[in-house]
A and B are shown apart, each in its own frame.
Chain A
Amino acid sequence: MVMGDLVDEVDVAVVGGGPGGYSAAFRCAELGLETVVIDADKRLGGACLFEGCIPSKALLHVAAVLGDAARAREFGVDFGEPRISLDPLRKWKQERVVGKLARGLAGVAQAKKVEVIGGRGVFEDSTTLRIEGADALQKVRFKHAIVATGSRPSGLPGVTAKSERVMDSTAALELPEIPERLLVIGGGYIGLELGTVYATLGSHVTLVEMTDGLLPGVDRDLVQPLQRRLDKLFAAIHLETKVTALRDLGAGVEALLEGQGVQRFDRVLVAVGRRAQSGGIGLEATRARLTERGGFIQVDDRCRTDDPRIYAVGDVTGEPMLAHRAMRQGKVAAEALAGRPAAFDNVAVPAVVFTDPEIAWCGLSEAQAKSQGVEAKVSKFQWAASGRAATIGRSDGLTKLVADSRSGRVIGVGIVGPGAGELIAEATLAVETAALVEDVAATIHAHPTLSETLMEAAENLLG
């Protein structure tokens, strides 16, 4: 143990090692800036890699395999009842998926000479971060700092339940067991994805959503095919329902569902959203300011806070809280502080719900176009008419294209169906580059593929 302060002097200190943080750090290093990342767990990857996107997608892949195997009976192939061993499954997810990617990121950091400091970074002023929890009391003096402290799962408002059986998404991804009866609170993408995982693995899932529909904010016609499937997969879906009390009875959890009475579950997953982690990092010692609603760090289009030395990226700066938005912001912040003319002015941030079927969208939804007064034309292509969809036995998809009537530009796309998350990439490129409906229609799409559905939707609009 070293007595006294150890002060590191760097060009850039990145607080938080998630996708926003490591993207920013790597880009800073590429631009020749001496960069450190301060991460509580002394690792790169953040919530995305360790308790979010990546482990959930690994589990959802398992769910998809199980779903496909079950559906194979339709065309005369019977694999029998699947036997699921949790230990190998957890090990595969943890080591072969998460561990492999974490080692990869650590390797990149080393190659780019980005040092990762373990500890919690707390601002002492606009030039100094104190590292708490480090072996030695350590300080980092920086020319610029990038705050990328991300978000954490919100608790259920008004309900406190300190119980192992009441899980947030992080705990649920650990896959402690396959509960017989699982209550999922929240019909957003996290609740639907994890509900799908557990239901496919064998749990009876009851889902409760406060509003009148699943995936609030998403066009209803995109949600419908998913809802039809979830109605079968889940034991029950209660809309416009609140959970007002949870009680751990030792052998299970009692939940009070408003209007439905008390029900018993083996476990509960609370997935009612995520909150910015902007507190406890000493921002009040800087000139950075928070938004009144949500406590997000206020940034401009170059990801600059009100403190000229401090930038912020990712979930801590606001919605949509998505890793790929954070990554782009991280690169913008790095370039901006290096004096390059970067700006986060992206038109389309794609969003994907990795359920079965998947739902993905980018740009303006039909409802948004309407509420913003955009004169829009909408084209829907049902996958029932897609050759590729027929060959995989999945005709329940829909590709929907929203275009500006005056300019003919593609301003939004929504897709529901298997692989929607991959298909949205082309749509995002079209929206971001202001492509015309005609451009999409006249581009050759490989046959037979699901990507043709976007071309078909575009052709419909041209008449």
Chain B
Amino acid sequence: MSRQFTLPDLGEGLTEAEIIAVLVREGDVIKEDVPLLEVETDKAQVEIPSPIGGRVEKVHVQPGQTVKVGAVLVTFSDDGPATRSAPSAAAATAPRGAPARPAAPTPPPAPAAGPVAATPATRRVARELGVDLKTVRGSGPGGRVLDTDVRAAASGPRAAPAATPPQAKPAAPAGPAKPLASVGLEAPPLPRFEQWGPVERAPLSHLRRTIAERMMLSATLIPHVTHFDRADITDLDAFISRNLEGARAKGVTLTLTGFILKAAALALRGHPQFNASLDPGAGELILKRYYHLGVAVATDRGLIVPVLRDIDQKPVLEIARELAALAQRVREGKATLEDLRGGTFTITNIGALGGTAAIPIINYPEVAILAVARARLEPVVRQGQIVPRLLLPLTLTFDHRVADGADGARFATEIVSRLEAPERLLWEW
């Protein structure tokens, strides 16, 4: 008897997913809940666990393929023993009835010691793209790493180093490149760059394509306006320093971002048009009565914006705890779809990377986004005296269709005043 496993419903709006990796092979005997596949949707990269135990009779998909919800992924036959054997179980992988050949290749092998199996030309491509070949699982004969494997690894998730094979994630071969969804404007044709020197074409990863489409959509549809401000966080910084140890005792690393999230959520309550979405078709502004804030997280694969819920109602300590856990899930590629949906406003903190200011692009269909650059000690005149103060540059970009410059300035001031007055912590934070 055999049973078919189809691509499950991934949640609202999501109708397809790209197969990143197939984690089992035909003949493998697996237990329930063992990861079967890695797929990437518009929202996230997720592992799909096996709903049942049994022997994998057939794998119907391959990396790079885009499949619709309901498509058959794997067929199980439940005649195998109910224990999981390692995927390298040779007996299970040998074709039935075929005579055993001593050195015949058994696909695909575990990574062997010694040099990585790849042609010199492929190794050159890996160097060009900055890919460590040892981290790439080869899809070629005998586990040979092919150009396509390298390109996929360069654009897809970074695999863990070979030193920790149990966590090593197989990299995804690149699927065929697909055009970006049109926003109604036709880009002029590109010149032939080859006339000036050698070029190479690398297909965009699923995530890169998603980011590109979203940014193009936002930058094209929304008239962006940007407001600059600075917050004097000298006192807040001292407060954080004083309480670092105490927070750490509770297992939390207190960061500025936690306070910024809180300040923004509280400010949003007084400026609801920034916690909204415009419905141009209906001619309505949809005001959201919840404050779920997205935080831009840079990962090896690209930008991902996980969402923290009900920031307005949570103490800063709890926000910091959730943020740390969420950022880690995202960086490890383990974020769930839930982690990435439902945001109402976005914060991007580029302070760790330096810079004096950045003008962000709105995370469509939200109305506003706040960028935070690095805080610096600067001379400030206070009561006729020049004193060193720690100033935090803030950049608020918002949808001019929804709000005007004055609204933006007032909203920004609300954030600034909270960051400058940590004594408000007593009754607000």
Contacts and interface: CB of A to CB of B under 8 A. Distances in A.
A433 B127 CA distance: 16
Interface string A435-451: 01111000000000000
Contact of B103 (A343, A403, A439): A403
B106 A434 contact: no
A242 interface: no
Contacts of B114: 364, 372, 374, 411
B141 A406 contact: no
Interface residues of A, number: 29
Contacts of B101: 462-463
Interface stretch (B115-123, B157-165, B283-291, B418-426): B115-123
B119 A408 contact: no
Nearest to B138: A434
Contact of B119 (A364, A405, A432, A438): A432
A463 B143 CA distance: 21
B142 interface: yes
A428 to B, nearest CB: 11
Interface in A328-387: 341-343, 345-347, 364, 372-374, 377
Contacts of A345: 115, 120, 123
B199 interface: no
A406 B110 contact: yes
A461 B102 contact: yes
B186 interface: no
Interface residues of B, number: 25
A346 B104 contact: no
Given A373-B113, A407-B142, A408-B142, A437 B119 contact: no
Interface in A375-428: 377, 403-409, 411
A306 to B, nearest CB: 21
B120 A341 contact: no
Contacts of A377: 102-103
A434 B105 CA distance: 12
Contacts of B194: none
B109 interface: yes
A89 to B, nearest CB: 40
A244 B142 CA distance: 52
Interface of A: 341-343, 345-347, 364, 372-374, 377, 403-409, 411, 432-434, 436-439, 461-463
Given A343-B123, A343-B127, A407-B112, A434 B103 contact: no
B128 interface: yes
Nearest to A378: B103
Contact of B120 (A346, A404, A461): A346
B103 A437 contact: yes
B119 A406 contact: no
B225 to A, nearest CB: 42
B123 A406 contact: no
Given A406-B110, A407-B142, A409-B144, 20 more contacts: A341-B128, A342-B124, A342-B127, A343-B127, A345-B123, A347-B115, A405-B103, A406-B112, A407-B105, A408-B141, A409-B105, A409-B117, A433-B120, A434-B117, A434-B119, A436-B141, A438-B104, A438-B105, A462-B103, A463-B102
Contacts of A409: 105, 112, 117, 142, 144
Interface string B78-95: 000000000000000000
